[in-house]
Amino acid sequence: MPQIIPGRHAGKIAIVTGAGQGIGRGVALRLSQEGAHVVIAEYNADNARSAAEEVSAAGAEALAYPVDIGDLDQIRQMVADVVARFGRIDYLINNAGVNKTQPMLTLPPEDWDKVHRVNLRGLFFCLQAVANQMIAQVPDDVKQAGRSAVSYGKIVNFS
């Protein structure tokens, strides 16, 4: 595991989705150890609180934020609340996801819809909401290859 570098992310504001357990929790902890303030964006409120306690004990401020990443209104509200609390967003770690451990041949449509809603739709709209906020914060610092596709979009961007 790479060495922890205290101060590497000092004062930065990070949203980590799916941070209540597993990889997301580990990423949130590491960011905190390196100085970032971390928003624990997690569907399960108990897991969000537990992770926030662990993360804040490691260093910087942590905010437990129960949210359904598959719900566009909740995503937008989360971004607005984070900006109201911290003034900006510096990082988004889009880690939330659901997994249905069933064979494809027997997977019920409602389970597939949930996977799609969180893992694809939620990821996309969370990135969209945070990217729009970041562009509003510092337009000159947002750089990306293929910027015209971000600004103007084409049907191929959705395939």
Residue 54 maps to a domain? yes
Domain count, the chain: 1
Residue 55 · residue 49 · CB < 8 Å: no
Q: Which residue has the tokens 């597939």?
A: 112
Residue 51 near residue 66 (C-beta atoms within 8 A): no
Residues 32 and 11: their CA atoms lie apart, in Å, by 10
Domain of residue 89: give its range.
13-147
Residue 5 lies in a domain: no
Residue at 85 is within a domain: yes
Compute the Cα dihedral for 74, 133, 18, 149 and give only its sign.
positive
CATH of the domain at 52: 3.40.50.720
Locate tokens 């949130």: which residue? 28
- Predicted structure pTM score: 0.85
- 32 domain residue, yes or no: yes
The answer to the question of residue 119 being in a domain is: yes
DSSP string, 7-29: TTTTT-EEEEETTTSHHHHHHHH
Assess if residue 154 is contained within a domain.
Answer: no
Q: Is residue 4 included in any domain, yes or no?
A: no
Provide the pLDDT for residue 155: 53
Per-residue confidence in pLDDT tens, the chain, 159 aa: 688 878 788 899 999 999 999 999 999 999 999 999 999 999 999 999 999 999 999 878 999 999 999 999 999 999 999 999 999 999 999 999 998 888 989 999 999 999 999 999 999 999 999 999 998 887 554 445 445 555 656 555 555
pLDDT of residue 100: 83
Name the nearest CA neighbour of 116 among 158, 70, 58. 70
Is 48 part of any domain? yes
